[in-house]
């Protein structure tokens, strides 16, 4: 009976229909309090949250994705958190600033909110509802690219 109960709990815990959006309320609060941005008025928007203080190689993978692809800039907003002093990375960040709408969080205020933020984060919002959210591991960059292309 214990193993059946464990299996039932495990299956219930694997319902991913909205579980990937479990930090959405914290993300909405972050956007509202830090940027005075009401997410319910944003229509269809993909937020790509990028920590600049992580490992440079990991950051390069995400920056290269954003630079190589021409995602619809009317739907994709980049949120840069922290700071990076590597000249190569800084030049890529400047190029991204010319390509996409940018929100900057130099003080890492995102960590004051329950957002699940640790790695790069992708949050897709439509009319105030979370459609999809995920932390972006380096090995998932191709699936993230496909998701953004299919939805931007």
Over residues 52-75, the pLDDT tens digits come to 998 889 899 999 999 998 898 889
Is the pLDDT assigned to residue 132 strictly greater than 50?
A: yes
Q: Which two tokens stand for residue 99?
A: 């390509």
Residue 110 structure tokens: 């995102």
pLDDT at site 1: 57
The pLDDT score that the predictor gives to residue 125 is: 94
- The pTM score is 0.84
- In tens, the pLDDT along 69-106 reads 889 888 999 999 999 999 999 999 999 999 999 999 99
Buried-state track 27-54, b at ≥16 Cβ within 10 A, e below 16? bbebbeebeebebeebeebbbbbbbbeb
pLDDT class for 9, splitting at 50, 70, 90?
very low
């Amino acid at each position: 009976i214990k193993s059946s109960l464990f299996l039932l709990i495990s299956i219930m815990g694997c319902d991913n229909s909205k579980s990937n959006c479990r930090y959405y309320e914290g993300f909405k609060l972050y956007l509202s309090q830090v940027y005075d941005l009401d997410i319910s008025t944003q229509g269809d928007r993909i937020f790509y949250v990028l920590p600049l203080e992580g490992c440079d190689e990991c950051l390069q993978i995400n920056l290269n994705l954003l630079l190589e692809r021409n995602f619809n800039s009317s739907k994709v907003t980049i949120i840069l958190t922290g700071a990076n002093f590597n000249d190569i990375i800084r030049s890529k960040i400047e190029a991204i600033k010319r390509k996409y709408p940018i929100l900057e969080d130099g003080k890492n205020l995102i960590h004051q909110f329950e957002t699940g933020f640790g790695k790069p984060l992708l949050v897709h919002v439509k009319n105030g509802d979370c459609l999809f959210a995920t932390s972006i591991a380096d090995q998932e960059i191709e699936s993230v690219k496909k998701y953004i292309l299919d939805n931007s």
